[in-house]
Amino acid sequence: MNVIGKVTVLPQLPEAIGRLSELAYNLYWSWTPHAQSLYQELDPEVWERFQHNPVRTLLEVPQERLTHAAANPDYLARYGRVMADFDAYMTKKDTWASRNAPGLAPVAYFSMEYGFHESLPIYSGGLGVLAGDHCKSASDLGLPFTAVGMLFHQGYFRQMFNKDGWQEEAYDELDLTTLPIRPALTPGGEEARVSVYIGSRSVHVRVWELAVGRIRVLLLDANVPENSEDDRKLTARLYGGNQELRVQQYVLLGVAGIRALRLLNVPAGVYHMNEGHAALLGLERVREYVGQGLDFRAALEAVASSTLFTTHTPVAAGNDAFAYDLMDRHLSGWPALLGTGRDDLYALARHEQFWDGHWVPTFSMTVFALNMSRAANGVSELHGEVSRDMWKFLYEGAEAQEVPIGHVTNGAHNLTFTSQAMRDLLGTVLPQGWTERLEDEAMWEAVEELSDTQLSDVQLEMKREMVTFVRRSLKAQMIRNGASAADVAATDTVLSENALTIGFARRFATYKRATLLFRDKARLSRIVNDPDRPVQFVFAGKAHPADNPGKAFIQEIYRVSQEPEFRGRVVILENYDMSVARQLVQGVDIWLNNPRRPLEASGTSGMKASFNGSPNFSILDGWWREGYDGTNGWPIGEEREYSDLGVQDDADAYSLYSTLESEIVPLYYGSGGQRGGWARTVRRAIRTVSPRFSMQRQVIDYVRKYYLPLTARGAEVTADGGRRAREIASWKTWVRQQWPYTTLQASANLPTTAHPGQRVEVRASVNPAGIRPEELQVEAVLKRGDHVTRVPLTHEEGGRFTAQVPLDDSGLYSIGVRMVPEIEGLSNPLEAGLIKWA
């Protein structure tokens, strides 16, 4: 047929259920199973076919189903309850933020990807889900908060396995009219458009908005007719394309993102960059201050004073860095706009790297983000440490412990991942309103009141659902790949609801070692095929399209799953997404994670499993190093790293098998029908992990540790037309000029041995050049093992400084003396980037 036009005929919602449409456009439903049921029941087939999408369901459902539902008293009653809950949620005045952070400035949160729900495929994995969960909890807690991201109209990719178990990727063009988004409107009521220069051309961006409970997410979309064909593809795929495309996407996220906020009059006082992708927002914000009359350096101070950067990547090579000439092509106009030179601008991002046999300067998004912020954090305690070590070269002369990168350990949005059955069960022992104070550890003690059978009943129900889901998914895959009738039929019997079931699902980045389990297949076979106490495994996960080693992992698991001894006991599912994630974390008995320590910055999927009573079994890396308490799951390996990766893999695999055989399997199956030990572990997992690794705890930590201090700091530095910003900038310029002319000499009167508590005299003599002596912090630095203490010396006169330095503990001390320029109001002593050791 020759199509001359298209028209969608919308079903008419009967008055009695008229607000289903309004609710469909608020992702409140994504963590509210009762709300989802309202749409699912209208047309279960459409619901499944279109990734559980309420907007799509309303578009597709035949009119008579709507009429029918509107006449069903039971449906109406549930509709009424959901709507009442929704209204209460949306209008609640007494929130955590209103009580605990009334002065908090509005937060603008930038992330390249967001995982809110499977029907909005603009995420690739944990980073995106974390960002989506962060938004959901910001809404739950009542924060003033707006998020900015990208609307990838082909999403990430849909994953299929071919007959040989090799990953294939499909990209579906999203039909935007079926997504819960609407064009963002300017205060004047126009559809919001912004444009940005990339290189010498102007790229136009349409702004969509997505409601996530009480907060809004702005999504940028370059797929508009005003743009060239190539530019329209800038927002086609998440993490698709080459470096050239990546940089342009970063310009859009950062620069167009800020312009969108301004156009829509969205207030923002604190800026949070989730990963280095967002760092170019600093360019636009500096440009704004330069436009208001600050010079480049002062503008930089103003911008950084209110900005937080969260890093997620614990390997240097994983951090985006680009060749200078590539940046030149896309950022050519910026130095002039910012009133600076190209070298001065790039110096803020400079990272010398060894590329193709040469040392070359690169533009590192992480370095730029660190320089554009006055607060930075990793995502677990260990990752904070790893990050400080990784980036300490930027703080010449500093000890790793002093590098100003802290940590906030990740969490997950409990309600998004907890099954309705488990929520109902928890509701029988937790107090009213429990979903609003998930971070309250004492509240969760009530989980101890749940009986063994109550828990095992819910878990069996969820496991049955998962087994059905797995069989359906495998069957569809078999049919698509033209499998024999016998193989198709065999999918009806894979997995047993009575066997101990272990889940492993995440991105197939190689450091996550998805195939570690198969290091000793004979031993694994004995575990899996134990006739009395069988064990089975469910895998899922996507490899990045360019990651062939990751795809080879998938294929290896696929092949194992086809071998006679593992058939039906080891399965790997296609197209891991948030829906598969929920099925698995809710349905398996145990969650497995065996990354190569310390590369799992945090990990979050194990938290989601624990919320559902599936204890975590993992390497002591990321969050689990903090979460494991000896009773709530199991560790793999030790708290250490190996220099030989093969040895590390062997040791970890050995530990995995042994713990499985000697602890987990016996505990799960119990003896003489007694499984009390298992239920105890399940209760411990739920009660300890749910509060401590709730996204509410995480967001509260961000508010207290970073958002509130940055609110104050940003206000102070930018007040009065940026008076303080100018002062700090010109002070830094001055001390940097003077620094080469300063001198420092030190001596200490040290006995060969001392006793704990003894003091030693340390003296220094300083030529401060043009710097005021009171602006020099002269300090003794004492190092004992990893332990570093600093003791300030007092200025006596004429550039002489002295202190009586206590040696508190026994041990071998190294003592040094250094000076650092410091004035009040800096975010940390290393801010000026100058340290001189005697």
Ligand X SMILES: *Cc1c(COP(=O)(O)O)cnc(C)c1O
- Report 173-192 residues binding ligand X (CB under 6 A): none
Place of tokens 């607000």: 19
Q: Which is nearer to ligand X, 123 or 813 (CB)?
A: 123
Q: Which is nearer to ligand X, 257 or 603 (CB)?
A: 603
Residue 516 binds ligand X (CB under 6 A): no
Q: Which is nearer to ligand X, 277 or 506 (CB)?
A: 506
- Report 90-129 residues binding ligand X (CB under 6 A): 125-126, 129
Q: Which of 296, 277, 378 is nearest to 345 (CA)?
A: 296
Near ligand X by CB under 6 A: residue from 215, 578, 590, 667: 578
Q: Which is nearer to ligand X, 129 or 219 (CB)?
A: 129
- Residue 132 to residue 163: CA distance in whole angstroms: 34
Could you tell me the smallest distance in angstroms from the CB atom of residue 124 to ligand X? Answer: 8
Q: What is the DSSP letter of 737?
A: H
Could you tell me the smallest distance in angstroms from the CB atom of residue 78 to ligand X? Answer: 27
Could you tell me the smallest distance in angstroms from the CB atom of residue 31 to ligand X? Answer: 13
Residue 131 binds ligand X (CB under 6 A): no
- Residue 522 to residue 589: CA distance in whole angstroms: 23
* Residue 400: count of CB within 10 angstroms of its CB: 17
Q: Which of 707, 567, 687 is nearest to 627 (CA)?
A: 687
Pairing state between β 201-212 and 270-274: unpaired
Q: Which is nearer to ligand X, 54 or 603 (CB)?
A: 603
Near ligand X by CB under 6 A: residue from 61, 581, 686, 710: 581
Could you tell me the smallest distance in angstroms from the CB atom of residue 593 to ligand X? Answer: 6
Nearest residue to ligand X on Cβ basis: 126
Near ligand X by CB under 6 A: residue from 233, 506, 713, 836: 506
Could you tell me the smallest distance in angstroms from the CB atom of residue 122 to ligand X? Answer: 12
Could you tell me the smallest distance in angstroms from the CB atom of residue 128 to ligand X? Answer: 8
Q: Which is nearer to ligand X, 51 or 332 (CB)?
A: 51
Indicate the burial class of 778 (C-beta count within 10 angstroms; 0-12, 13-18, 19 or more).
Answer: buried
Could you tell me the smallest distance in angstroms from the CB atom of residue 104 to ligand X? Answer: 27
Q: Is the dihedral of CA 97, 103, 106, 112 positive or negative?
A: negative
Q: Which is nearer to ligand X, 129 or 682 (CB)?
A: 129
Could you tell me the smallest distance in angstroms from the CB atom of residue 130 to ligand X? Answer: 8
Q: Which of 584, 566, 471, 572 is nearest to 527 (CA)?
A: 566
The CA angle 576-579-585, to the nearest 5 degrees, is 85
Q: Which is nearer to ligand X, 180 or 541 (CB)?
A: 541
Q: What is the 3-state secondary structure (H, E, C) of 624-675?
A: HHHHCCCCCEEEECCCCCCCCHHHHHHHHHHHHHHHHHHHHHHHHHCECCEC
Near ligand X by CB under 6 A: residue from 30, 491, 605, 742: 605
Q: Which of 143, 388, 434, 125 is nearest to 270 (CA)?
A: 143
Could you tell me the smallest distance in angstroms from the CB atom of residue 131 to ligand X? Answer: 11
Range in contact with ligand X (rule: CB under 6 A) among 356-364, 572-580, 648-656, 661-669: 572-580
**Number of residues near ligand X (by CB under 6 A):** 14
- Residue 681 to residue 589: CA distance in whole angstroms: 11
Could you tell me the smallest distance in angstroms from the CB atom of residue 213 to ligand X? Answer: 19
φ, ψ of residue 811 to 5 degrees: the values are 140, 180
Q: Which is nearer to ligand X, 277 or 312 (CB)?
A: 312
Is there a cis peptide before residue 666, judged by omega within 30 degrees of 0?
Answer: no
Q: Which is nearer to ligand X, 43 or 600 (CB)?
A: 600
Residue 772, C-beta contacts closer than 8 angstroms, at least 6 positions apart: none
Range in contact with ligand X (rule: CB under 6 A) among 287-295, 298-306, 601-609, 798-806: 601-609
Range in contact with ligand X (rule: CB under 6 A) among 321-329, 575-583, 637-645, 727-735: 575-583
| Cα-only R_g, the chain | 29
Could you tell me the smallest distance in angstroms from the CB atom of residue 615 to ligand X? Answer: 15
Place of tokens 């928890």: 426
Range in contact with ligand X (rule: CB under 6 A) among 17-25, 395-403, 555-563, 573-581: 573-581
- Reading the block at residue 488, the tokens are 């198709």
Range in contact with ligand X (rule: CB under 6 A) among 322-330, 523-531, 577-585, 657-665: 577-585
Could you tell me the smallest distance in angstroms from the CB atom of residue 660 to ligand X? Answer: 19
Q: Got the DSSP string for 125-189?
A: SHHHHHHHHHHHHHHHHT--EEEEEE--TT-S-EEEE-TTS-EEEE-PPP-GGGSSEEE-B-TTS
Could you tell me the smallest distance in angstroms from the CB atom of residue 602 to ligand X? Answer: 7
- Residue 797 to residue 70: CA distance in whole angstroms: 87
Range in contact with ligand X (rule: CB under 6 A) among 324-332, 438-446, 472-480, 576-584: 576-584
Range in contact with ligand X (rule: CB under 6 A) among 336-344, 600-608, 698-706, 766-774: 600-608
Q: Is the dihedral of CA 240, 241, 247, 249 positive or negative?
A: negative
Q: Which is nearer to ligand X, 577 or 779 (CB)?
A: 577
Place of tokens 């937060």: 107
Q: Which is nearer to ligand X, 402 or 574 (CB)?
A: 574
- Reading the block at residue 290, the tokens are 């330069």
| Residues pairing with 181 in the sheet | 210
- Reading the block at residue 188, the tokens are 């004047």
Q: Which is nearer to ligand X, 193 or 596 (CB)?
A: 596
Contact present, 817 and 778 (Cβ < 8 Å):
yes
Could you tell me the smallest distance in angstroms from the CB atom of residue 606 to ligand X? Answer: 7
SS3 content of the chain, % helix, strand, coil (to 5): 45, 20, 35
Q: Which is nearer to ligand X, 583 or 688 (CB)?
A: 583
- Residue 730 to residue 344: CA distance in whole angstroms: 16
Q: Which is nearer to ligand X, 507 or 526 (CB)?
A: 507
Could you tell me the smallest distance in angstroms from the CB atom of residue 811 to ligand X? Answer: 39
Could you tell me the smallest distance in angstroms from the CB atom of residue 614 to ligand X? Answer: 13
Residue 577 binds ligand X (CB under 6 A): yes
Near ligand X by CB under 6 A: residue from 249, 604, 632, 688: 604
Write each residue from 522 to 551 as x if it is in contact with ligand X (CB under 6 A), else as -, in one continuous string: ------------------------------
- Report 268-287 residues binding ligand X (CB under 6 A): none
Q: Which is nearer to ligand X, 576 or 707 (CB)?
A: 576
Range in contact with ligand X (rule: CB under 6 A) among 64-72, 152-160, 602-610, 763-771: 602-610
* 3-class DSSP assignment, residue 526: helix
Write each residue from 450 to 489 as x if it is in contact with ligand X (CB under 6 A), else as -, in one continuous string: ----------------------------------------
Could you tell me the smallest distance in angstroms from the CB atom of residue 315 to ligand X? Answer: 15
Could you tell me the smallest distance in angstroms from the CB atom of residue 303 to ligand X? Answer: 31
The CA angle 310-315-316, to the nearest 5 degrees, is 90
Buried b (16+ CB within 10 A) or exposed e, 510-536: bebbbbbbbbeeebbbebbeeeeebbb
- Residue 130 to residue 603: CA distance in whole angstroms: 10
* Residue 387: count of CB within 10 angstroms of its CB: 26
Q: Which residues bind ligand X (CB under 6 A)?
A: 125-126, 129, 506-507, 576-578, 581, 593, 603-605, 608
